[in-house]
Chains A and B, each alone.
Chain A
Amino acid sequence: MNVVETQNLEKLFIDAGTEVRAVDGVSINVEEGEFTAIVGPSGSGKTTLLNMIGGLDNPTKGKVQVDKVELTELSKNELIDFRLKNIGFVFQSYNLIPVLTAYENVEFVMLLQGRDPKERKARVNELLVAVGIADKAKNRPSKLSGGQQQRVAVARALAPKPKFIIADEPTANLDSKSASTLLDIMQQLNEKEGITFLFSTHDQRVIDRARRVVTLTDGKITEDKIVDV
């Protein structure tokens, strides 16, 4: 089953009078359980594409369906609610709420969803162990390393078991060891829980971990290959 389907997705930016077609007719399907990397040089439209799929930005043209729901037909507030219930996000930085502990950050989205306390507690503890932060559950983000912060962000995105997780350059600010640990964790959770991951990256070592690699060039898909493991 396809979690994401796009048709001729297009995004046009008008920047100081000049038009930039950041995403130019992208049609892509993502199936449940995929672990897919969007790659391409800087400015090729990776962020713009992921934002449209994640309901963070409106396409200029084309269609995006997430779990059979057409995002372009939702209002701004409906989109916020849709994201809360269906999509997990890991950003490059500024992922966490600085005044909440690691534990509370992981719990946060579940709280917003109004999940029951017992369920939250079990899930948060399980994930903190899975991402290797259990001993730092009470630390605030400022007392965590960059890699640890990103692991908490992954746990936060996974906590409510969303339809899929979007991660835009999750390792960009990390050294290679932390990056590789983060990828290990993402991969394990993808296999164990079957949650779909869609992430963008520049980093060849990260690309090597993906099972499907979609290459964007100037807003167009120029290559889409399944990697045999």
Chain B
Amino acid sequence: MLLRLAWRNIWRNKRRTLITLGMIQFAVVLATLMATIRDGIMDIQVENVVGGYQGYAAINDTGYVEEPSIDYIVPYNDSVQSFLKSQNLIKSYSPRIIGGGIITRGEKFKIGRIVGVNPALEDSLTHFSKNLVKGRMHHSIGEVVLGLGLAERLKADLDSVVFITGMGYQGNTANLMLKVVGIIKLSNIQENKRLAFVTLEEAREGFALYEGVNQIVLGLRDNTKAKQSVKKLKKQFTDPVQIYSWNELNVPLYMLVEVNDAVNIIVSAMLYFIISFGLFGTILMMLAERKREFGMLIAIGMKKSKLSYITYLENTFMAIFGTALGFVIAIPVVYYLNQNPVTLTGRNAEDIAKFGFEPLVRTSMNFNIFMWQAISVLGISLFFSLYPILKIRSMNENKAMKG
């Protein structure tokens, strides 16, 4: 009976109910879309930067994290390799020697990074060969693969010859002459403009680093759990050689992700603040309109707790239904934008690219976002539903009936 009464009360003022439902729905759609888009943009960034070249985890010297210098090395021998192979959490690995230098072709030059890698191992980790725009991966001494941005800057093409002058291990100078065998498009815009890949042996000779490597990049069984996996693995290492997860290796990016999460919370909070006002307005109107009726109900013997329960049911229902209606619109849109990302063009796209972001809008299908939206709306409405209960508690049926 109480349920029936609550249900009919909801529809006694259809227009007001529809406006309230619409308002909740609108806020849920807007908040969900904004949160999933912002999250999606960050996901793309993380995928590009971390998934492209940086890796979700890496082993290197503690000093290297602070200052990525070629002088910080970690051992790379048979026992290290068998240790890595024995770890269940680690799927693949790739050793890297990384040196800085000036890359020159004719009159053109650019400061870049020369990365010595074993193409097969590196490919198993980052699937580089898929991103080749031209040519092939390097496999012998004297061959180099350039990032597309770097190649354009140097006006280099296949078979071009480039010179590298750089700083080798412990103050040695490095001088290399290389032939371009491939051009690769790296998803991270910055890396794309400065990386040049050579074989591990070439880097060893050229930079005079005869033992160890600068970094061993790791592919994990589950990259989405990088932080937890690394935490478990950390126990097996002794400083200064340590294992790091991507957020420790790339603190600025991680902070950006964190800030983004915080902004999401703030923006959602603002939207929900607006809903709160709407909902509260509806509740106040409802109370004013039904004051006499409430007085009459108490007068004829209805317990205040029963009456409160009815208003609580009404408001909770509105909140749940409004949120559900919001998701009915939001989820398909979010799903669509997740499957069909929109590439931005024009001025906005250029501005975004300036920050090193890819001008791509793709939503994140993160279940947590939906869950938090639902919890927030429900929390708010349950909170405001307490107001009529307080009012009813202190209501004097005589005064209420006088209007």
Measuring CB to CB, which residues of chain A are less than 8 angstroms from any residue of chain B? 51, 54, 56-57, 77, 80-81, 83-85, 87, 89, 91, 94-95, 97-100, 108-109, 111-112, 156-157
Whether A98 and B293, one on each chain, are in contact in the complex, defined by CB atoms closer than 8 angstroms, is yes
Considering the chains assembled together, what is the distance between the CA atoms of A109 and B298 in angstroms?
11
Whether A99 and B303, one on each chain, are in contact in the complex, defined by CB atoms closer than 8 angstroms, is no
Contact of B299 (CB < 8 Å), options: A89, A97, A108, A111 = A89
For A101, give the chain B residue with the smallest CB separation.
B8
Given contacts A51-B398, A56-B397, A91-B296, contact A100 B5 (CB under 8 A): yes
For B6, give the chain A residue with the smallest CB separation.
A99
Whether B5 and A83, one on each chain, are in contact in the complex, defined by CB atoms closer than 8 angstroms, is no
Considering the chains assembled together, what is the distance between the CA atoms of A91 and B293 in angstroms?
12
Contacts of B302 in A (CB 8 A): 80, 84, 112
Whether A83 and B12, one on each chain, are in contact in the complex, defined by CB atoms closer than 8 angstroms, is no
Which of B12, B292, B300, B306 has the most chain A CB atoms inside 10 A of its CB? B300
Which of B1, B299, B302 has the most chain A CB atoms inside 10 A of its CB? B299
For B296, give the chain A residue with the smallest CB separation.
A94
Contacts of A112 in B (CB 8 A): 301-302, 306
Flag B288-314 by CB within 8 Å of A: 1 or 0 each: 000011011111111110100000000
Considering the chains assembled together, what is the distance between the CA atoms of A59 and B1 in angstroms?
35
Considering the chains assembled together, what is the distance between the CA atoms of A51 and B5 in angstroms?
27
Considering the chains assembled together, what is the distance between the CA atoms of A19 and B299 in angstroms?
26
For A99, give the chain B residue with the smallest CB separation.
B8
Given contacts A97-B293, A99-B12, A100-B8, contact A89 B398 (CB under 8 A): no
Contact of A81 (CB < 8 Å), options: B12, B299, B301 = B301
Considering the chains assembled together, what is the distance between the CA atoms of A84 and B297 in angstroms?
10
Considering the chains assembled together, what is the distance between the CA atoms of A112 and B305 in angstroms?
12
B9 within 8 A of A: yes
| B291 CB to nearest chain A CB (Å) | 10
Contacts of A81 in B (CB 8 A): 301, 303
Which of A80, A85, A156 has the most chain B CB atoms inside 10 A of its CB? A80
Considering the chains assembled together, what is the distance between the CA atoms of A109 and B304 in angstroms?
14
Q: List CB contacts (< 8 Å) of B1-15 with chain A.
A: 1, 5, 8-9, 11-12
Contacts of B301 in A (CB 8 A): 80-81, 83-85, 87, 109, 112
Contacts of B11 in A (CB 8 A): 99
Measuring CB to CB, which residues of chain B are less than 8 angstroms from any residue of chain A? 1, 5, 8-9, 11-12, 292-293, 295-304, 306, 397-398, 401
| A47 CB to nearest chain B CB (Å) | 9
| B73 CB to nearest chain A CB (Å) | 79
Contacts of A99 in B (CB 8 A): 5, 8-9, 11-12
Considering the chains assembled together, what is the distance between the CA atoms of A157 and B296 in angstroms?
12
| B267 CB to nearest chain A CB (Å) | 39
Q: Give the number of residue pairs across the A-B interface with Cβ within 8 Å.
A: 55
Given contacts A98-B12, A111-B1, contact A80 B296 (CB under 8 A): no
6 interchain residue pairs of minimum CB distance? A84-B301, A99-B8, A83-B301, A94-B292, A99-B12, A111-B1
For B297, give the chain A residue with the smallest CB separation.
A97
Considering the chains assembled together, what is the distance between the CA atoms of A112 and B5 in angstroms?
13
Whether B5 and A80, one on each chain, are in contact in the complex, defined by CB atoms closer than 8 angstroms, is no
Considering the chains assembled together, what is the distance between the CA atoms of A176 and B331 in angstroms?
62
For B11, give the chain A residue with the smallest CB separation.
A99
Whether B12 and A80, one on each chain, are in contact in the complex, defined by CB atoms closer than 8 angstroms, is no
Contacts of A85 in B (CB 8 A): 301
Beyond contacts A89-B299, A99-B12: 5 other A-B pairs, Cβ-Cβ < 8 A, are A56-B398, A81-B301, A83-B301, A85-B301, A94-B293
Given contacts A94-B293, A97-B293, A99-B9, contact A80 B401 (CB under 8 A): no
Query: Could you write out 7 A-B pairs with CB less than 8 Å apart?
Result: A81-B303, A83-B299, A83-B301, A97-B5, A97-B297, A99-B9, A112-B306
Whether B397 and A77, one on each chain, are in contact in the complex, defined by CB atoms closer than 8 angstroms, is no
Contacts of B1 in A (CB 8 A): 111
Whether A84 and B300, one on each chain, are in contact in the complex, defined by CB atoms closer than 8 angstroms, is yes
Whether A80 and B304, one on each chain, are in contact in the complex, defined by CB atoms closer than 8 angstroms, is yes
| A113 CB to nearest chain B CB (Å) | 8
Considering the chains assembled together, what is the distance between the CA atoms of A51 and B304 in angstroms?
19
Whether A77 and B303, one on each chain, are in contact in the complex, defined by CB atoms closer than 8 angstroms, is yes
| A126 CB to nearest chain B CB (Å) | 20
For A90, give the chain B residue with the smallest CB separation.
B300
Considering the chains assembled together, what is the distance between the CA atoms of A96 and B73 in angstroms?
86
Considering the chains assembled together, what is the distance between the CA atoms of A83 and B299 in angstroms?
7
Considering the chains assembled together, what is the distance between the CA atoms of A94 and B5 in angstroms?
17
Contacts of A84 in B (CB 8 A): 300-302
| B9 CB to nearest chain A CB (Å) | 6
Contacts of B298 in A (CB 8 A): 80
Contacts of A83 in B (CB 8 A): 299-301
Contact of B401 (CB < 8 Å), options: A77, A94, A109, A156 = A94
Considering the chains assembled together, what is the distance between the CA atoms of A48 and B300 in angstroms?
17
For B300, give the chain A residue with the smallest CB separation.
A89
